[in-house]
């Protein structure tokens, strides 16, 4: 892949040489101190001890999905296989992770953990084309991020892949939003039982959001789908007669329309974003496109 070049326009044009961080721990510390800004993840624990190893960094993203960070220390280290091992360990030790979240962020957050799409973020100064191919073949939520440091005050993160994986569906449990049977339907179940017309509207929403840029990834969680850049720009739920889309836009900056847009600030709902758009047909989505564009541009 082509290398990224950065130029300074101060006192003429000069190329800033890129370097790797000499000490791997330095990079780890910078990332752990700035996880929300860099990756939209809340930091939980550094050097988390497990059976036969240590997870470099652990976090929880805004969709309450567990995130493992692994940093490549040497050219011959297989950080992808390490991350995959740690991911499997975490899936087998959910109670340990929940206890960590409880101790760090509280019981309320711990009860919201979503195991549908746990993620491994592998960070290195470089990856090979074989690394990218291997990750695509694994069909696991493993992201490769290449970093470059420029001078003393600039660092660049290049996201090399956007994994498309199926969510891990657990047995449904009783929730406050449960149906008459006492069981909350998953996103997939809601989609499959909605009308063909509404399914087509959702597919139009999906296609449109993904077409906004190749920096968007689609994360299908248990009860909703999150479309995100670094952070969520839109979270979408589907029901029998409507689709709810929550956008990361300040509702006070929008002229709200009855039965179409709603301020969800301080009101509980799935996903993130305080501006709710109610979509019942393709005409509603056509009206929502400008707001969707805005969420992408501001995200």
Same domain, 32 and 138: yes
Q: Is residue 180 part of a domain?
A: no
Please check whether residue 174 lies inside any domain of the structure. Answer: no
Give a yes or no: residue 89 inside a domain: yes
Say if CB 159 and CB 179 are below 8 A apart.
no
Query: Which of 177, 165, 172, 174 minimizes the C-alpha distance to 239?
Result: 177
Same domain, 18 and 125: yes
Identify whether residues 51 and 99 lie together within a single domain.
Answer: yes
Residue 264 lies in a domain: yes
Same domain, 104 and 238: no
Q: Is residue 24 over pLDDT 60? A: yes
Pairing of strands 41-50, 18-19: unpaired
> pLDDT at position 185, please?
87
The reply to whether 168 falls in a domain is no
Residue ending a domain, among 141, 159, 177, is 159
Say how far apart CA 278 and CA 9 lie, in whole Å.
47
Q: Residue 158: CB partners within 8 Å, gap ≥ 6?
A: 4, 145, 146, 147, 148
pLDDT at site 176: 38
Dihedral sign of CA atoms 33, 37, 38, 44 in order: positive
Q: Which residues contact 101 (CB under 8 A, 6 or more apart)?
A: 44, 60, 109, 110, 113
Residue 147 sits in the same domain as residue 203: no
Distance CA 199, CA 239 (A): 10
Beta-carbon count within 10 A of 244 CB: 19
**Strand boundaries in the chain, DSSP class E:** 6-8, 14-16, 18-19, 41-50, 53-61, 66-71, 119-124, 142-150, 154-159, 217-220, 225-228, 232-238, 243-247, 261-263, 275-279
Give the integer Cα–Cα distance in Å for 219 and 187: 12
Question: Can you say how many angstroms the Cα of residue 268 is from the centroid of all Cα atoms in its chain?
Answer: 20
- What is the C-alpha separation between 158 and 199, in angstroms, rounded? 34
Whether the Cβ atoms of residue 238 and residue 194 lie closer than 8 Å to each other: yes
CA separation for the pair 136, 38 (Å, rounded): 23
Number of domains the chain is built from: 2
Residues 199, 154 within the same domain = no
Residue 124 lies in a domain: yes
Is 243 in the same domain as 129?
A: no
Q: Do 263 and 141 share a domain, yes or no?
A: no
Give residue 139's pLDDT: 80
CATH of the domain at 240: 3.90.1150
**Please, which pLDDT band fits residue 76 given cuts at 50, 70 and 90?**
low
193 and 152 inside one domain: no
The answer to the question of residue 241 being in a domain is yes
- For the chain, give the percent of residues with pLDDT over 90: 63
Please check whether residues 94 and 14 belong to one and the same domain: yes
The pLDDT of residue 179: 41
- Residue 62: which domain range? 6-159
For residue 65, the domain's CATH number is 3.40.1350.10
- Return the higher-pLDDT residue of 114 and 177: 114
Q: What is the mean pLDDT of residues 269-289?
A: 95
Asked if residue 154 and residue 194 are part of one domain, the reply reads no
Q: Does residue 141 sit in the same domain as residue 26?
A: yes
* Residue 165 is assigned to a structural domain of this protein: no
């Amino acid at each position: 892949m082509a290398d990224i070049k950065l130029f300074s326009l101060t006192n003429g044009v000069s190329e800033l040489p890129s370097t790797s961080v000499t000490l791997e721990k330095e990079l780890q510390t910078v990332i752990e101190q700035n996880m929300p800004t860099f990756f939209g993840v809340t930091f939980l624990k550094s050097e988390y001890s497990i059976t036969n190893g240590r997870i470099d960094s652990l976090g929880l993203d805004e969709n309450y999905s567990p995130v493992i960070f692994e940093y490549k220390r040497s050219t011959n280290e297989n950080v992808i296989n390490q991350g995959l091992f740690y991911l499997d360990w975490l899936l087998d030790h959910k109670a340990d992770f929940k206890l960590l979240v409880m101790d760090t962020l509280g019981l309320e957050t711990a009860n919201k953990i979503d195991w549908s799409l746990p993620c491994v973020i592998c960070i290195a100064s470089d990856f090979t084309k074989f690394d990218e191919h291997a990750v695509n073949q694994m069909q696991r939520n493993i992201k490769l991020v290449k970093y470059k440091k420029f001078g003393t005050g600039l660092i660049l993160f290049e996201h090399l892949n956007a994994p498309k994986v199926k969510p891990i569906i657990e047995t449904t449990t009783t929730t406050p939003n449960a149906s008459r049977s006492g069981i909350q339907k998953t996103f997939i179940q809601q989609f499959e039982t909605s009308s063909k017309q509404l399914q087509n509207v959702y597919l139009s929403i999906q296609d449109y959001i993904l077409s906004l840029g190749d920096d968007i990834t689609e994360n299908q969680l248990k009860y909703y789908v999150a479309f995100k850049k670094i952070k969520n720009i839109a979270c979408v739920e589907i029901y029998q007669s409507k689709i709810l889309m929550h956008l990361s836009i300040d509702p006070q900056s929008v002229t709200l329309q009855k039965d179409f847009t709603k301020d969800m600030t301080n009101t509980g709902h799935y996903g993130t974003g305080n501006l709710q758009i109610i979509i019942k047909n393709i005409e509603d989505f056509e009206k929502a496109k400008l707001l969707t564009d805005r969420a992408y541009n501001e995200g």
